[in-house]
Structure 1
Amino acid sequence: MAPRRKKIYEGKAKILYEGPEPGTLVQYFKDDATAGNGAKKEVFEGKGVLNNRLSEFFMTGLNQIGVPTHFIRRLNMREQLVRQVEIIPLEVIVRNFAAGSMATRLGLTEGQQLPRPIVEFCYKDDRLGDPLVPEEYIIAFGWAAQQDLDDIVALALRVNDFLSGVMHGVGIKLVDFKIEVGRIWDGDFPRLVVADEISPDSCRLWDIETGRKLDKDVFRKDLGSLTEAYTEVARRLGVLPSNVTHRPKPTLIN
């Protein structure tokens, strides 16, 4: 039997384990779905498998066009090997259309196109509900320097161009998404990379024709099966895993 791996961190949808070599981690995708910062919870069979595949697809695409990410390779159905990064404690949100908290906050119509993609920052803290923070706070509290923020905005907009294009090609509107950014040190020189995951858990995806939601809002708003929505995204992108559900555990016979 394989030795038990050391768990580094467990979040709402993923677990990070110590990696096989220094500077790496194994990122495991759970089937858990949460909303409202963990207030609403459910398990969706096969969700982790889909998100692992989808995140691999997006991260690989970004690496190929020269947008640096923490992703190294997928290991199996639920795990991928990633580089260990120092996470900047911000959620970086890019919005192309008004939805969710922005629509509520500004009284905008859900789905209204914004004058241009808008990048905003939330401070990563579930207890506080990940509050929206201005750049002034980020710099004053030392979460990131001005130069970092300029680089993060540029990085986020490149991710947006890539994701919007890929999604549009399969009839999906990228309404908004969130990424996390981490620092990797090359000697004394820090580099910023896209970390965490890119999946329907972290994007708002609407079918261009029908407006049907294909993201975590399906769960937030009780609009049907989350696994079905994510499977549809994977199917359109051509990354559907051959086996989404769990295989039954083998029965031990004495």
Structure 2
Amino acid sequence: MEFVYEGKTKDVYALEDGNYLLKFKDDVTGEDGVFDPGANTVGLQIEGAGKAGLRLTTYFFEILKDRGIPTHYIDANIDEAEMIVKPAKMFGKGLEVICRYKAVGSFLRRYGMYAKEGQELDAFVEVTLKDDDRQDPPISADALHMLGILSLDEYVELKSLTQKISGIVKEELAKKGIDLYDIKLEFGRMDEGNGIMLIDEISGGNMRAYKNGVYIEPLKLEKMLS
């Protein structure tokens, strides 16, 4: 296999058959040693985070597969912290899509004049550009369209998929008495067509989950669901 890209939380390799291998790492995003799924820098290392992230990702991707929701997932090797995925075409240089059920994190920092901490949100979807230099700025549907990143029809599909996937994750967590506050997802165009599919991962490292008002760390979340 051929090394392609070193990411914050996983490395990417190209396989001979045209698919890709993702190698999960123990790095998680955050600032000053504090985990933050919305941060655009690696804040700390948590031993076992890579395998835990992959285990949870596999758990959710298998559920999505059963529900007929398109993802890039093919197979996973938990012991090696590796996942094989289909190729996908990025939207521009990459987008992050956040679905919010509670007003916390960057939402509260931006809209704190109006929002109260922990305020209920109705599966609010926001899209940000993957741009570390500009701190991942939020972008509207019209701007995405005008800049040629995605069409307005694609935005509608992106939003619908985000709310559907996030709702499934929320339901699964609720079975264990866990509340999902927000979740960050990534999408790409299918290589064989123009459809949109979920890429990257679904793990404790890209969501905020709480039980009885207490935040659940990524490794603990995986153990609670296994």
Structure 1 length-normalised TM: 0.80
1:106 to 89, 99, 111: 111
SS at match of 2:205: coil
Q: Distance in 2 between matches of 1:79 and 1:110?
A: 37
* Residues 21-100 of structure 1 aligned to structure 2 (within 5 Å): 21-22=17-18, 24-35=19-30, 36-38=39-41, 41-77=43-79, 78-88=81-91, 89-100=94-105
Q: Distance in 2 between matches of 1:157 and 1:32?
A: 27
Q: Distance in 2 between matches of 1:10 and 1:20?
A: 19
Per-residue deviation, residues 180-202 of structure 1 (Å, max 9, x unmatched): 1111133xx31110001111111
* Residues 194-233 of structure 1 aligned to structure 2 (within 5 Å): 194-207=198-211, 209=212, 211-214=213-216, 229-233=217-221
1:62 touches 1:159 (CA, 8 Å); kept in 2? Answer: yes
SS at match of 1:155: helix
- Percent of aligned pairs with the same amino acid: 30
1:17 to 13, 17, 22: 13
Per-residue deviation, residues 65-106 of structure 1 (Å, max 9, x unmatched): 011100011034200111110122211111111111111211
* Residues 164-183 of structure 1 aligned to structure 2 (within 5 Å): 164-183=170-189
2:87 touches 2:191 (CA, 8 Å); kept in 1? Answer: no
Q: Distance in 1 between matches of 2:2 and 2:144?
A: 32
1:97 touches 1:112 (CA, 8 Å); kept in 2? Answer: yes
Per-residue deviation, residues 180-236 of structure 1 (Å, max 9, x unmatched): 1111133xx3111000111111111111x2x1112xxxxxxxxxxxxxx32321222
Q: Distance in 2 between matches of 1:46 and 1:76?
A: 11
Q: Distance in 1 between matches of 2:143 and 2:43?
A: 31
Task: Give the partner amino acid of 2:173.
Answer: M
Gaps of 5+ in 2: 31-38
Larger radius of gyration: 1
Q: Distance in 1 between matches of 2:8 and 2:223?
A: 25
2:194 is the alignment partner of 1:190 = yes
Q: Distance in 1 between matches of 2:110 and 2:219?
A: 32
Task: Give the partner amino acid of 1:111.
Answer: G
Q: Distance in 1 between matches of 2:2 and 2:47?
A: 25
Match for residue 159 of structure 1? 165
Q: Distance in 1 between matches of 2:148 and 2:166?
A: 26
SS at match of 1:190: coil
1:138 to 139, 144, 147: 144
1:87 touches 1:180 (CA, 8 Å); kept in 2? Answer: no
Task: Give the partner amino acid of 1:14.
Answer: K
2:100 touches 2:181 (CA, 8 Å); kept in 1? Answer: yes
Q: How far did 1:42 drift?
A: 2.2
Task: Give the partner amino acid of 1:44.
Answer: I
SS at match of 1:122: strand
Q: Distance in 2 between matches of 1:9 and 1:176?
A: 27
Task: Give the partner amino acid of 1:27.
Answer: L
Q: How far did 1:20 drift?
A: 4.4
SS at match of 2:167: helix
Gaps of 5+ in 1: 215-228, 239-254
SS at match of 2:133: helix
Q: How far did 1:63 drift?
A: 1.2
